[in-house]
Amino acid sequence: MTKRKTLALVGATLLIHGLTACASQRFDGGMRGGGLAFVDIDIDGDGGISLPEFVKKAPSRITDPEGIFKRLDTDGDSFVSEEEFAARRMGGGRPR
C-alpha cells in the first residue's frame, strides 16, 4: 500500500470514529469522563428529555440537575431536544 493510500485510510478511519463519537452525544455534567448518551437519558424514547428523566439519570455528582436542565433547554419548551443536547455538548447553546 502506498503512503498516500495509507494516509487516506487513516484519515477516513479517524473521520468515521469522530462522527460515531458525535452521534452518541454523551453528557458528563461538565466533568471529564464517561457520561450518558442522549438515548440513555431519554427514557421514554420520545425524542426529548424531560426534567424528571434528566434528574433520574443525572450522575450523583451533579449537585444542581435542575439548573443544568434549564441551561440545556435553550428554547424553554421544558424538553431538551437532541439538537439542544448536542449543542451544549459541543460547547454551543446559550446559558440562561
Residue 91: DSSP 8-state: T
pTM of the shown model: 0.61
pLDDT confidence band for 49 (50 / 70 / 90): very high
Evaluate if residue 9 carries a pLDDT over 90. Answer: no
Residue recorded with cell 463519537: 21
Handedness of CA 77, 68, 96, 32 (dihedral sign): negative
- What is the predicted pLDDT for the residue at 88? 76
SS3 72: helix
Cα–Cα distance list, 52 to 3, 44, 58, 65, 83 (Å)? 53, 11, 10, 10, 19
State the chain's mean pLDDT as an integer: 74
